[in-house]
Structure 1
Amino acid sequence: MMQQTPAAELLLAIARRFAGSESPEGLRLRASRVTEWSAAMELARAHGMEPLAAWYLDTDCAGMFAPDFYDRLHATLQRNTANFVLLTTDLIKVLRILRARGIPVVPLKGPVLAVTLFNEIPWRESCDLDLLVRRGDVGRAKDALMEAGYKLDSQLRSDEENATYHWRSQLVLFRDDVSPALDLHWELLPSLFPCARYFDSVWERLQNSTFHDQEILTLSAEDQLFFLCAHAARHSWHSLRLAVDVARLIHMSPDLDWDSMIRAGRNSDGIVLALGLWIVNHLLEVKLPEIALHYANEAIDGKPFASQLLERMMAIAPDQYENSSELRLQLRLAAGWWPKLRCAAGYVLLPTDAEGALRLPASLFFLYYLYRPVRLTAKYGMKLFRMISGEVTRRHAWTDGV
């Protein structure tokens, strides 16, 4: 891995501390080398790890800094605590609304994951709520939430929403400018992504749990780990926090059924799980059982894109990554020509809300499928043309020089 700045080394130490692979002494050593604390905290914020950094700097590094810096750390934790309370309150309200209609619902990520991974300490930043319902319950769930004051965040007309369900995996609803947005999923992963079909059977493996005295349904630990790896891959592993989620879940779940997980990973149409395990082992030094380590190394070792992914995770701010890199990674993770073709076709052909801005009448709905390839060609075609032209120019210059 490339040479890291003291701020990046500290952030990695914090991530490893959370994953159980770094000692308090090691974290203090990294902290002692940092001189630009504004840059260090900005890097933590960019990677979604500011509350986690504040927690460990306040506890493991007690007495190392000036009082005003600890005041800043306490303010960060208080702010995130307030956000955690807001999210939790809204989540409980939404769960009650859907439960009153007899709609089974599974909270994803957010405050439930934060509590699962770190008890009651609100270390994990979240800005919205994610819920999973059965596909057949989407309409009822949407109606119940809209009756409770939520609105659809979509450019499509309400009479077109039902026609979009087959290409989407979620609806986004909001209530006001203060309350968190609500992402209503009926698939854990859009069907065009590698390994998406694995999640079709998660409803058969749900577990009962308790969240703030509320009975809730949760993913099994094995499905949760697979989902976090797939979610991170969908977003090109663009931040260290994505790896932290996976690493901490492994640390907190000593009884994971690795045999069934590896079998599921091998039987899926991609290497999404293998990449997640490989990343946390190489980047965060997470110790894996031999069967998991062998599976990850066998699938990923020697693939240049994986090493490049590690470099990029720490080399740039997460908000600088390009969405086009998502497709490139999915194609590399898909196993076989058919999953790759399905993924590419889905990315190029299936419309998004951006196409909804056309406001086509229902009778011309099929034109959304034609408009997306045109829009993508206009967006990326000129960039590709410049890249090709530049390469041709460089080759001609080299030939002329010879």
Structure 2
Amino acid sequence: MSTDSKQTESELSPEISLLLACARTRIDLETADRIRESARRSLDWDRLIETSLAHGLMPLLYENLNTHCADIVPPSRLKQLKDLFQKNAARSVLLTGELLDILELFATEGIEAMPYKGPAIAISIYGRLALRQFSDLDILVRKRDVWRCQQLLISRGYEPHFNITERQLPSFLKLGYVQMFTRDRRQSVVELHWGIASRFFMFPLDTDRFWERLRSSNLMGRRILAPSTEDLLLLLCVHGAKDLWERLEWICGIAELVRAHMDIDWDATTRNARELGAERILLLGLFLARDLYGAELPDLILRRIDEQPTIKSLAGEVRENLLQLNPQSLGLRQRIFFHIRTRERLTDRFRYCTRLLFTTTPIDWQILPLPPSLSFLYPLLRPLRLAKKYALDHTKSLSCF
């Protein structure tokens, strides 16, 4: 943790303290001593392992316990973690093989596609597939290629979550940003993206410039497309903010990326984020990486953080909920208010609210199928549907809209 957090470190549960110490690929002597000291404490090992799985940090927990204090950890617990680690590693290899097959299938049709999250991040940030948990495959394509990609995935045995016709496709592409496909009784999940976040979240990524900045990378001996380091950093911060930073691994990934790439063009990164109205989102992610994992940030970033008190306020809320063994699900109003405060531009806050209320989604189409002649009613009916739905269950995620 950063020096800003030292005064509250003693307030953390021993399980969370140990998990935070292990959640990194590079362990210095001070951190190694901290790991050994934490491992000697009276720990609820069931809760620790359960929490590590929930936060996507089980592989790093096992790796560092096995490396730095295998003589301290109860043998049965170390074996339990080893079994989980090996199962995760085996599944990661299978999923990566499936990803590469899908990318090759797309390439034969002349479709450029970029692996997004999953195995690509495991390699680029952690250096090994086995060090990251992932259960689905995320692939980013251009809007113009979505229909062909959907047909190719269907030919491979996948079923789309939303059955979209060609007539509905233009509206679907405009209103949404992802289509989920499943196979083998949901054992294999592919998320086909043409955007980064839902329309109401207000992250208007310039896709043409984004695709121009892609670079070549290597995944299990195969060439793949990958975002620039600066773009990847912003994407990770947007993903975390969109989902309210509910997993420690998302912050860990940012800290690892910053440590691994000392040549980040910080001027370009902040300028790009500012143009997209996402500078506060970027700075929040970076501050959390510094606060929880000690990521070193340049003076430029630290000054920008200090100039915006809202960032530390938001980080405090994230930390308070995240560093509990039993984090509470945030209610709808809390989620909306958090999202609004992550945006620095008043216009984005206003458009977030209006789009959230009135932008139709495929879920609206499914719940209330209307003939084309009555489709103009959807924006009027949507607020009523949401009011009824969330009055019954206020903890629903915004992704369910």
> TM-score band (shorter)?
0.7 to 0.9
Q: Among 39, 42, 46, which residue is 1:38 paired with?
A: 46
Secondary structure at the aligned position of 1:310 is classed as: helix
* 1:370 is the counterpart of 2:376: no
Unaligned 5+ segments in structure 1 are 385-402
Letter in structure 2 aligned against 1:367: L
Q: Which residue of 1 aligns with 2:162?
A: 154
* 1:304 is the counterpart of 2:283: no
Q: Among 246, 249, 252, which residue is 1:244 paired with?
A: 252
Distance 1:249 1:303, change over 3 A: closer
Q: Whole-Å Cα distance in 2 between the matches of residues 383 and 359 of structure 1?
A: 20
Checking the alignment, whether the CA contact within 8 Å between 1:13 and 1:22 is kept in structure 2 is: no
Letter in structure 1 aligned against 2:12: Q
* 1:357 is the counterpart of 2:366: yes
Q: Whole-Å Cα distance in 2 between the matches of residues 248 and 323 of structure 1?
A: 31
Mapping 1:277-292, distance limit 5 Å: 277-292=286-301
Q: Among 346, 349, 355, which residue is 1:346 paired with?
A: 355
Name the TM-score, length of structure 1 as normaliser: 0.88
Which stretch has the larger CA shift, 69-78 or 94-103? 69-78
Checking the alignment, whether the CA contact within 8 Å between 2:217 and 2:225 is kept in structure 1 is: yes
Q: Which residue of 2 aligns with 1:330?
A: 339
Larger radius of gyration: 1
State the Cα distance separating 1:299 from its structure 2 match: 2.6
* 1:207 is the counterpart of 2:215: yes
Q: Among 101, 104, 119, which residue is 1:93 paired with?
A: 101
Computed over aligned residues only, the root mean square deviation of the Cα atoms, in angstroms, reads: 2.5
Question: Residue deviations 1:274-327, cap 9 Å, x none?
Answer: 111111111222111111222223234675333122211113645733455432
Mapping 1:157-306, distance limit 5 Å: 160-177=168-185, 179-197=187-205, 201-270=209-278, 271-300=280-309, 304-306=313-315
Distance 1:71 1:87, change over 3 A: same
Q: Whole-Å Cα distance in 2 between the matches of residues 225 and 129 of structure 1?
A: 19
Q: Among 64, 67, 72, which residue is 2:72 paired with?
A: 64
Q: Whole-Å Cα distance in 2 between the matches of residues 344 and 372 of structure 1?
A: 13
Letter in structure 2 aligned against 1:355: D
Q: Whole-Å Cα distance in 1 between the matches of residues 53 and 282 of structure 2?
A: 27
Secondary structure at the aligned position of 2:106 is classed as: helix
State the Cα distance separating 1:10 from its structure 2 match: 1.0
Q: Whole-Å Cα distance in 2 between the matches of residues 68 and 382 of structure 1?
A: 44
Checking the alignment, whether the CA contact within 8 Å between 1:19 and 1:251 is kept in structure 2 is: no
Q: Which residue of 1 aligns with 2:20?
A: 12
Q: Whole-Å Cα distance in 2 between the matches of residues 218 and 79 of structure 1?
A: 27
Q: Among 96, 102, 116, which residue is 2:110 paired with?
A: 102
Aligned length: 384
Question: Residue deviations 1:35-91, cap 9 Å, x none?
Answer: 211111112122121222122111121211232222112101111012101211110
Distance 1:374 1:199, change over 3 A: same
State the Cα distance separating 1:186 from its structure 2 match: 0.8
Identity %: 29
Checking the alignment, whether the CA contact within 8 Å between 2:119 and 2:129 is kept in structure 1 is: no
Unaligned 5+ segments in structure 2 are 1-7, 395-401
Q: Whole-Å Cα distance in 1 between the matches of residues 229 and 317 of structure 2?
A: 29
Q: Which residue of 2 aligns with 1:124?
A: 132
Name the TM-score, length of structure 2 as normaliser: 0.88
Q: Which residue of 1 aligns with 2:144?
A: 136
Checking the alignment, whether the CA contact within 8 Å between 1:19 and 1:284 is kept in structure 2 is: no
Q: Whole-Å Cα distance in 1 between the matches of residues 22 and 118 of structure 2?
A: 20
Distance 1:302 1:329, change over 3 A: closer
Q: Which residue of 2 aligns with 1:320?
A: 329
Distance 1:43 1:235, change over 3 A: same
State the Cα distance separating 1:234 from its structure 2 match: 0.3
Q: Whole-Å Cα distance in 1 between the matches of residues 155 and 304 of structure 2?
A: 48
Q: Among 52, 55, 76, which residue is 1:47 paired with?
A: 55
Distance 1:371 1:157, change over 3 A: farther
Distance 1:302 1:174, change over 3 A: closer
Letter in structure 2 aligned against 1:240: L
Q: Whole-Å Cα distance in 2 between the matches of residues 211 and 93 of structure 1?
A: 12
Secondary structure at the aligned position of 2:179 is classed as: strand
